[in-house]
């Protein structure tokens, strides 16, 4: 019997387990025994492997709707020699296929592992996974739509709260180390009754403290309240983060509290009441705001990567290809994992302005996050 090993890398998304279900579905149908490397590929070396291929359709559906990573995930740093040793161990254990799910760092791990495993007759493929949406070669990554929906819907609710008690400035912090895709999605929060957000601060734009405070004060004088959405990765023109990271090892960064810093700036410098909110992992673990489209595309990407492995296509990653906007249609394709794919994809210049986003960005995201998903509310103010 053929054997496959699945593993996850990096932070979970709301649909990571849907990709897992897609891969499992294909492998089970092919009669392949499927195991998981619990909490990442590095743990193959200490035997943390579990068989996971006895799931019926109901169990697969439940898996697709489960938050976090059902097989664990990891951020272990691997040296060149580690890849050779892991490949050797995988061969000793009799694996024919290895399928990963992850973002830029994990896909780098995947292509390096594929190089060593290919020498031993083991096929390695990857499934894109990043709520930050910073993987290249795919229209968007599984996990992004759900994160965008959470951010837009949460900001819409905050806007209505502010509209009902317009006494302060609220600063909401969004995930996004270098790319502002999640932060930008907050632009969908406004309605015909309640406009906003008032400022959207992206890591693609250098932060200017005086310009920021001037704009906040301008909005405050006009409306008496404001909603600011800021990326955790905000930095000054010289590249320094506006709040020093609490902890950093390689690509793993625990950012300082940007929303709290900005809120305190507003209160101390402008004398305006302000408060900060930081959804953090709630924005990636919420199944209540899991997008149906995101879940479907994640499943299809998992299935496509599993089929590619069975076909012997080494070092490839599944991608989402947008076929049309109205009606929205997409398909799962495959690309070779290359240095170009591993480059972080930032929000393009035509998608953003100093304190907001453009119509081009809104046209790009609206087929993914529909207005009827965000909640329809009533106000008399």
- Cβ atoms of 173 and 278 closer than 8 Å: yes
Give SS3 for 231. strand
- Say what percent of the chain tops pLDDT 90: 93
Rounded distance between C-alpha atoms, residue 23 and residue 321, angstroms: 18
pLDDT tens sequence across 364-373: 999 999 999 9
Q: Which residue ranges make up each domain of the chain? A: 3-142+288-342, 151-286+347-373
pLDDT at 148: 98
The pTM for the full model equals 0.96
């599944």: which residue's tokens?
A: 318
> What number is the average pLDDT over the span 234-243?
95
How far, CA to CA in Å, does 380 sit from each of 160, 189, 197, 222? 11, 18, 19, 19
Task: Note the pLDDT tens digit of each residue in 50-69.
Answer: 999 989 999 999 999 999 99
Cβ-contact 100, 4 below 8 angstroms? no
Q: Could you tell me which of 181, 157, 189, 125 has the C-alpha nearest to residue 13?
A: 181
pLDDT digits (tens, 9 = 90+) for 315-372: 999 999 999 999 999 999 999 999 888 889 999 999 999 899 999 999 999 999 999 9
Whether residue 143 has pLDDT greater than 90: yes
Mean pLDDT of 11-26: 98
Kindly list the distances between the CA atom of residue 96 and the CA atoms of 121, 133, 188, 248, 287, in Å, as whole numbers in the listed order.
7, 30, 45, 36, 33
Token pair of 8, please? 């996850």
Q: Where are the beta strands (DSSP E) in the chain?
A: 3-8, 33-37, 49-51, 97-102, 123-128, 169-174, 199-201, 226-231, 247-249, 252-254, 274-277, 316-325, 328-336
pLDDT confidence tier of residue 252, bands split at 50, 70 and 90 = low
One fold for 3-142+288-342 and 151-286+347-373: yes
| Confidence (pLDDT) at 340 | 85
* Other residues' Cβ atoms within 10 Å of the Cβ of residue 369: 22
HEC sequence for 155-213: HHHHHHHHHHCCCCEEEEEECCCCCCHHHHHHHHHCCCCCCCCCEEECCCCCCCHHHHH
| Mean pLDDT taken over the chain | 96
Which pLDDT does position 342 carry in this prediction?
86
- Amino acid 288: pLDDT: 95
Architecture per CATH, domain 3-142+288-342, reads as 3-Layer(aba) Sandwich (3.40)
Q: Does CATH number 3.40.50.460 belong to domain 151-286+347-373? A: yes
Expressed in percent and rounded to 5, the helix, strand and coil fractions of the chain are 40, 20, 40
Alpha carbon distance 226, 219 (integer Å): 7
- Look at strands 33-37 and 49-51 and give their pairing: antiparallel
CA triple 342-347-349, angle to 5 deg:
125
- Pair 263, 171: CB distance under 8 Å: yes
The answer to whether residues 367 and 328 touch, using CB atoms and an 8 Å cutoff, is yes
**pLDDT, average across residues 110-131:** 98
What one-character DSSP code corresponds to residue 194?
S
pLDDT in tens, 258-289: 999 999 999 999 999 999 999 999 999 999 99
């Amino acid at each position: 019997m053929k054997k496959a090993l699945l593993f996850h890398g990096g932070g979970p998304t709301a649909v990571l387990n849907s990709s897992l279900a897609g891969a499992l579905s294909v492998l089970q149908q092919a009669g392949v025994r499927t195991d998981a490397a619990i909490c990442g590929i590095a743990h193959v070396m200490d035997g943390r492997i579990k068989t996971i291929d006895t799931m019926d359709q109901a169990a697969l559906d439940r898996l697709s709707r489960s938050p976090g990573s059902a097989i664990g995930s990891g951020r272990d740093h691997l040296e060149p020699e580690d890849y050779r040793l892991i490949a050797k161990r995988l061969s000793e254990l009799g694996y024919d296929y290895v399928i990963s799910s992850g973002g830029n760092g994990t896909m780098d791990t995947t292509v390096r592992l594929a190089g060593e495993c290919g020498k031993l007759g083991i096929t390695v493929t990857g499934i894109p996974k990043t709520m930050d949406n910073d993987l290249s070669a795919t229209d968007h990554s599984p996990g992004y739509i759900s994160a965008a929906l959470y951010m837009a819907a949460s900001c819409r609710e905050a806007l209505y709260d502010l509209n009902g008690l317009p006494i302060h400035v609220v600063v909401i912090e969004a995930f996004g180390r270098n790319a502002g895709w999640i932060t930008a999605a907050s632009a969908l929060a406004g309605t015909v009754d309640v406009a906003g957000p008032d400022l959207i601060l992206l890591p693609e734009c250098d932060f200017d403290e005086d310009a920021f405070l001037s704009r906040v004060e301008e909005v405050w004088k006009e409306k008496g309240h404001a909603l600011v959405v800021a990326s955790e990765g905000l930095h000054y023109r010289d590249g320094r983060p506006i709040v020093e990271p609490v902890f950093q090892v390689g690509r793993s960064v625990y950012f300082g509290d940007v929303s709290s810093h900005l809120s305190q700036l507003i209160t101390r410098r402008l004398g305006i009441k302000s408060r900060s909110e930081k959804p953090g992992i709630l924005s990636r673990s919420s199944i209540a705001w899991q997008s149906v489209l995101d879940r479907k595309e994640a499943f299809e990407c998992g299935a496509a990567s599993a089929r590619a492995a069975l076909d012997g296509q080494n070092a490839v990653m599944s991608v989402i290809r947008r076929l049309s906007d109205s009606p929205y249609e997409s398909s799962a394709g495959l690309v070779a994992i290359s240095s170009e794919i591993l480059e972080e994809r930032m929000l393009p210049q035509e998608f953003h302005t100093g304190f907001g986003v453009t119509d081009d960005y809104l046209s790009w995201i609206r087929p993914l996050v529909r207005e009827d998903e965000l909640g329809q509310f009533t106000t008399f103010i």
